[in-house]
């Protein structure tokens, strides 16, 4: 009787894969600051503070890049709302 070679398959945990993918380094660009803004852009994720110079490219883990994008989007939305309210007040 021929013996069958046992096949081993690595079981991939999707959660662990997602965590590893989130640590992959990516480049981000923080736009230059206006006169009344800080020269650094700061985000905090899970109690860890990250500070980036404005107007330069930085290499960060993917999860930090996602938070930076979210923060920049929120800042733009806030500024749009303030401008709308100021225009209505005129």
pLDDT in tens, 7-66: 556 677 888 887 777 778 999 999 888 888 888 999 999 899 999 999 999 999 999 999
> Who's near 56: CB < 8 A, 6+ residues apart?
29, 30
d(CA 88, CA 29): 33
Q: Are 26 and 62 in contact (CB under 8 A)?
A: yes
Q: Are 43 and 67 in contact (CB under 8 A)?
A: yes
User: What is residue 29's predicted lDDT score, i.e. its pLDDT?
Assistant: 92
User: What is residue 1's predicted lDDT score, i.e. its pLDDT?
Assistant: 53
Exposed / middle / buried, residue 50 (Cβ in 10 Å: 0-12, 13-18, 19+): middle
Question: pTM for this structure?
Answer: 0.69
């Amino acid at each position: 009787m021929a013996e069958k070679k046992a096949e081993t398959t690595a079981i991939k945990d999707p959660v662990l894969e997602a965590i590893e993918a989130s640590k992959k380094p990516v480049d981000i660009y923080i736009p230059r600051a206006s006169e009344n803004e800080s020269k650094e852009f700061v985000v905090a994720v899970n109690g860890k503070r990250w500070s980036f110079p404005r107007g330069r490219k930085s290499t960060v883990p993917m999860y930090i890049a996602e938070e930076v994008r979210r923060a920049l989007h929120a800042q733009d939305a806030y500024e749009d709302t303030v401008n709308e309210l100021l225009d209505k007040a005129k």
